[in-house]
Amino acid sequence: MTAAGTAPGAVAPEESGARGSGSVLRSGAVMAAGSIVSRATGFIRSAVVVAALGTGLRADGYTVANTVPNILYMLLIGGALNAVFVPELVRAAKEHSDGGAAYTDRLLTLCTVGLLALTALAVLGAPLIIHVYAPTYGGEQLGLTVALARYCLPQILFYGLFTLLGQVLNARDRFGAMMWTPVLNNLVIIAVFGLYLWTAATSDGTITAAQAQWLGWGTTAGIAVQSLALVPSLRAAKFRWRPRFDWRGSGLTRPLRAAGWLVMLVLTNQAAYWVVTRLSTASGQHALDQHVAGGAGYTAYSYAYQLWVVPQGIVTVSLVTALMPRMSRAAAGGDLAGVRRDLSYALRTSAAVVVPAAALMLALAPWVMGSVFGYGRTGPADITVMAGMMAAFAPGLIAFSGQYVLSRGFYAMSDTRTPFLLNLVIAALNAGLAIVAYLTLPARWAVTGMAGAYSVALLTGFAVTAYVLHRRVSPPGAARPSLARSPGVGAHVRLIVACVPAGLLAYGAARAVDTKGSGLGDLTALAAGTAVLALTVVALARPLRLTEVTAAVNAVRGRLRRG
């Protein structure tokens, strides 16, 4: 979790750039569609999991066990694979006579061996790992969490294979499969927890050993299906992986060196996340001891975070994934102006969705959380807690999205050291402010304060990263444009100005139509508030010169006329 920023002052793309942007938008649209379906089924998955387990200590055990594989994967190898793979494969395709085929085989083989070793060590060390992330657990709670972790930790291998194979497809400008196959994972988990909910509906709430195996192995099976579903797309791209172990002297030193900085970056992120996990699980226990209504612990934080990242995952990730090969080619050719244009374009285009989404999460948090999670064992008190966390996360979404764009600018230039140094600012602030929240706020509000701490950390890092990258990609001396006057900054400021009244009107509309006690009350209020917010932003787009918004509206109108 790092910082974000706004774009350097970029000139308008030339005609060829405009054509390229059209291709990027088409690729981004395919990925965004897959991401939307994936997120939608992900919400259903989360709702089924919450309905089955609730948000109390039992749910915390599963959440910790299922989160640890992803944490370890990202901590030790995942972040490096995501950032290094595409630039390296693009460069190898350009420089090697075989189009980089042998280099790709060697890199895949090396990474897979590392994944197998990491997975084996993690399964063996499951008790120690759980103690690190949930030191207050004991007795049955500890035994259940360790057992679930052993069943979930093999996910590390499949997370890695999914990233490796997906990045090979991305480097070949085939973007859709990596966004669509997670739908299969969600469907598997929905089936697993749906069956558990059906069979355990009348139980006393405990999880038996057989049920733990079903939930743990079922969750891992979902990740395995997601990964292996990429194979048909690889065959369609005429890629055949042939494992090669002749690593010496094959040019793998450079990506390994770059990956080292990224491992350190992820270490700082996960150190901060470890602090938050420990403090939030402890806060959840304190809240339970104090008979606080609602699960004010790690699970609530986790689900609020999961929903918070959705706009960035749908829009920003899709757009930047489509741009990354092009930015990498521009950087490899020394075309910093091209990198600058793509960064500015990505920031402005993604902000047109992300900034209104942040306003929606802030203004409509209770109805958002109620619509998604207000079922089964999740009561009104749980929704109130999660809504507070969502509102605290909301301001940081703009920075979180922008960071993703700017960090890829550094990675396209094969610079992983600078993002690591910049990330220290965010990680330190996140951990430090989370500790302050834990020590100073009541148990009912401590984890909500931790969500707000992350927003403050992101927004601070946002400014620092923007300044550093602006100097890096802009021409030196008097020719360097002012960051404050750049298109990216201007777009963000104007969007925020539009979203302030839009958010207030959306909140009023949701309150006006909310029917307390009705099963459709949250959905109705959310729909009304969302419609009012969107219409207000569109109405203000022309007077505030929100060109990305007006372009999207005009495109929709054109399609409707043609249709």
Nearest to 6 by CA among 493, 359, 395, 552: 493
Distance between CA atoms of residues 222 and 225, nearest Å? 5
Alpha-carbon distance of 423 to 429, in angstroms, equals 10
Rounded to whole angstroms, the Cα distance separating 171 from 162 reads 14
User: Measured in Å, how far apart are the chain's first and last C-alpha atoms?
Assistant: 42
- CB atoms closer than 10 angstroms to residue 310: 20
380-393 and 365-373 are packed helices; what angle lies between their axes, rounded to 10 degrees?
130
Each residue's pLDDT tens digit in the chain (563 positions)? 333 333 333 333 343 444 455 566 677 777 778 878 887 898 888 888 888 887 666 677 888 888 888 878 876 776 667 677 777 777 777 777 676 778 888 888 988 898 999 899 999 999 998 888 888 787 888 888 899 999 999 999 999 999 888 888 887 778 778 888 999 999 999 999 999 888 875 566 678 888 889 999 999 999 999 999 999 988 888 888 888 888 887 677 777 777 788 888 888 887 898 899 889 888 877 777 776 666 677 888 888 998 999 899 888 888 888 888 888 888 877 888 888 899 999 999 999 999 999 999 999 999 999 888 877 677 788 888 889 999 999 999 999 999 999 999 999 888 889 999 999 999 999 999 999 999 999 888 899 999 999 999 999 998 899 999 988 888 766 566 777 778 888 999 999 999 999 999 999 999 999 876 555 788 999 999 999 999 999 999 999 988 888 887 877 676 667 65
Give the separation between CA 190 and CA 196, rounded to whole angstroms: 10
DSSP class of residue 75? I
Find the helix packing angle between 298-308 and 380-393, rounded to 10°.
Answer: 50
The closest of 305, 463, 464, 461 to 392, measured between CA atoms, is: 305
- Identify the helix (H) or strand (E) that includes residue 227: helix 209-228
Structure tokens at 548: 């990305």
> Which string of b and e fits 203-216 if b means at least 16 CB within 10 Å?
eeeebeeeebebbb
Whole-angstrom Cα Rg for the chain: 23
Using a 10 angstrom Cβ sphere, with 0-12 exposed, 13-18 middle and 19 or more buried, the burial of residue 352 is buried
Give the pLDDT confidence score for residue 8 in this predicted structure.
33
Helix (H, G, I), strand (E, B), or coil: what is residue 394? coil
**Pairwise CA distance, residues 283 & 297, whole Å:** 6
Choose among 562, 406, 396: nearest CA to 469. 406
What pLDDT, on the 0 to 100 scale, is given for residue 509? 95
Distance CA 42, CA 187 (A): 9
At 144 the pLDDT is: 86
CB 458 within 8 A of CB 504: no
Cβ atoms of residues 225 and 183 within 8 Å: no
Q: How far is 156 from 104, CA to CA, in rounded Å?
A: 21
Q: What values do phi and psi take at 55, rounded to 5?
A: -130, 20
Cα–Cα distance between 241 and 262 in angstroms, integer? Answer: 25
Q: Are 52 and 376 in contact (CB under 8 A)?
A: yes
The one-letter code for the residue type at 43 is F
DSSP string covering 345-365: HHHHHHHHHHHHHHHHHHHSH
Record the tokens describing residue 553, joined without a space: 């509206």
Amino acid at 475: P
Which has the closest alpha carbon to 390: 497, 504, 311? 311
Contact 42, 186 (CB under 8 A): yes
Q: Dihedrals φ, ψ of 346, to 5°?
A: -65, -40
Question: For residue 393, how many other CB atoms are within 10 A of its CB?
Answer: 27
pLDDT the model gives residue 35: 78
Positive/negative CA dihedral, 363, 369, 371, 372: positive
